[in-house]
Amino acid sequence: MVMRYFTVKGCFLVLLLSAFSCMYIPAFAKKKVRKIVLDAGHGGKDPGCHGLYSFEKDITLSVTKKVGELLDKEFKKDVSVAYTRTYDILPPDNIVSVSQSLIYRTEFANREKGDLFISIHVNSTPRRNSPVKGTLVLVCGPTRIDEKEGSIGENVPNIGEKEELLDPNDPATSIIIAQYSQAFLNKSIVLGEKINTEFQNQGRSTEGVRQQSLQVLASTAMPGVLVEIGYLNNSEEEAYLNSEEGQTAVATAIFNGIKYYKEEIEKDPIEVKIEN
């Protein structure tokens, strides 16, 4: 569950490339989506939010597994799925604090060299029984850009870049890392918008795609989204999210978003001619 956010609209940065009279700047090399990291929010001693009879940690785990099953069925050996947890535990060992677990999840994603990070949560409001309902997709917020760029810099081989091309003593390095950070944000928005559209097509109320400065999105050196799949303190949505039908529908919306994203990302890059 997350509460504070920023709008995505107007978030795109303008990257100014100078000191080149005439050259071709290729898009970042096409990279296939080979590994997807799925993160079921909360777990173990951290139940997350709750409704009248259920906890966030149980719903997120069930939905996350369903997303993974759909990915395995569709892509078979072409895509591997890595889970931050597969049972009711606060990863990695139920002894750590919540903050330590968040660090573990991001380190796990980076260590697994994920091409995409999906964190699944359930939302809530302060009211015990609320009329508020709907899904929400979050992407990395602007106040943690430095953290995102730091994670990219620390995980250069994971993103397909040669370490010698990102020499920390070279002023151009910071520009390259900033470009990667912006590219990851743009890709995250593409994924988030598609997931949001899938929910809309299912007839769900949606709150769109927004930015929020979350650690699990800022510290992962890859595109990623956090999906709030409904409000657990809304009795109608609690029943839906605990049903087999509801969980399957939610998992399908997220899966369809990932499938679309994979197809878009793996298209041939376009060369752009820059002239002064």
Residue 7 inside a domain? The answer is no
> Are the C-beta atoms of residues 229 and 120 closer than 8 Å to each other?
yes
Residue 157's pLDDT is 72
Check which CATH number belongs to the domain holding 98 and give it: 3.40.630.40
- Among the listed residues 253, 240, 131, 249, the one whose alpha carbon sits nearest the alpha carbon of residue 192: 253
Q: Is residue 158 part of a domain?
A: yes
**Number of helices and strands (H, E) in the chain?**
7, 9
The number of domains in the chain is 1
The average confidence (pLDDT) of the chain is 86
pLDDT value for 163: 52
Give the mean model confidence (pLDDT) for residues 159-181: 71
Compute the distance between CA of residue 156 and CA of residue 85 in angstroms, rounded to an integer: 25
The token pair at 133 is: 């309902």
Range of the domain at 77: 32-265
Q: What are the Cα distances from residue 14, in Å, to 19, 177, 179, 259?
A: 16, 14, 10, 28
β-pairing verdict for 206-212 and 116-123: unpaired
| Domain membership flag for residue 160 | yes
Token pair recorded at residue 172:
């151009």
Is the per-residue pLDDT at 95 higher than 60?
yes
- Supply the pLDDT for residue 177: 86
In a domain, 239, yes or no: yes
Q: Report the distance separating Cα 250 and Cα 204, nearest Å.
A: 10
CA end-to-end distance (rounded Å), the chain = 48
Residue 168 has a pLDDT of 59
Residue 90 counted as domain residue? yes
Residue 276 is predicted with a pLDDT of: 56
User: Is residue 26 in a domain?
Assistant: no
Query: Does the pTM of the predicted model rise above 0.75?
Result: yes
- DSSP letter assigned to residue 166: G
**pLDDT tens profile 215-248:** 999 999 999 999 999 999 999 999 999 999 999 9
272 inside domain: no
Domain assignment present for 202: yes
pLDDT by residue (tens digit) across 14-30? 333 333 333 333 344 55
How far apart are the C-alpha atoms of 6 and 247, rounded to whole Å? 27
For the stretch 142-167, pLDDT in tens is 999 999 999 988 887 777 655 555 56
State the sign of the Cα–Cα–Cα–Cα dihedral 126, 205, 140, 113. Answer: positive
Q: Which of 75-79, 135-139, 266-270 has the lowest mean pLDDT?
A: 266-270
For 30-87, write each residue's pLDDT tens digit. 579 999 999 999 999 999 999 999 999 999 999 999 999 999 999 988 999 999 999 9
The pLDDT value recorded for residue 115 is: 96
